[in-house]
Amino acid sequence: MGNPTSQLVSGNFEKPINMTQENIISKTIDFVQETLRGAEGGHDWWHIQRVWRLAKNIAEQEENVDVLVVELGALLHDIADSKFHGGDESIAPRKARAFLESLSVGEDIIRHVENIILHISFKGGNFERTFSSPELSVIQDADRLDALGAIGIARTFNYGGFKNREIYNPNIKPNLHMTKEEYKNSQAPTINHFYEKLLLLQDHMNTATGKKMAMHRHQFMEQFLHEFYQEWDGNL
């Protein structure tokens, strides 16, 4: 990490004194918990905590990974998810930058965290990736793992209810070739999201650890969908 400076930025942040990495992480946790107080259940502090823990675990299995960047990127990756801010993808990196500058975090780390926030999202999977780093790979896998398995199922239906979407409509087929904008603006039934994103994630994992964990969670979702259709059709 770069040497601390005395520069302050605008905002309701206190000037840090001799901040250690442990202090930075602790203050970031406090900031995220307060910022996401009352957030939608699939994108709240508990989602952040799960991704943060997963990212740290995956990072331990990888080489040449900056753990501080991983922790900060994981903690701040959903600080202002664009889907809750009118699709504006610039709010989250700006908010993260202002906070990290208030802790006198080095500019190289701040830029890295900004890029992680800007490039972590799936966004339909149909776009060219313009930034990559080992740290992004780790955090992206952790975030995608939290969209899979039992937690992923719970989050998907929680968000569908939050948006007042149908659970399932057999007359509305999944769209597997959406543009980024179509994906962001989709109002399709919740079950469609499994085919438009969740079941695709296993093939988009970056790390060996992430790929291994994704296999189990992917299989669990397939079992869930089989049971869902059996119950939907009223089969005995």
**Spans of all domains in the chain:** 21-232
Least confident of 81-85, 176-180, 203-207: 81-85
> Residue 130: which pLDDT band, with cuts at 50, 70 and 90?
confident
Mean pLDDT of 148-168: 96
Q: Is the pLDDT of residue 9 over 50?
A: no
Architecture field, domain 21-232: Orthogonal Bundle (1.10)
What is the pLDDT at residue 183? 77
Mean pLDDT of 155-180: 92
pTM of the model: 0.86
What is the pLDDT at residue 180? 75
Least confident of 31-45, 107-121, 142-156, 170-184: 170-184
DSSP the chain: -PPP-----SSS-PPPSS--HHHHHHHHHHHHHHHTTT--TTSSHHHHHHHHHHHHHHHTTSSS--HHHHHHHHHHTTTT-GGGTTT-SSHHHHHHHHHHHHTT--HHHHHHHHHHHHH---GGG-S------HHHHHHHHHHHHTTSHHHHHHHHHHHHHHTT--S--TTS---TT--HHHHHH----HHHHHHHTGGGGGGG--SHHHHHHHHHHHHHHHHHHHHHHHHHTT--
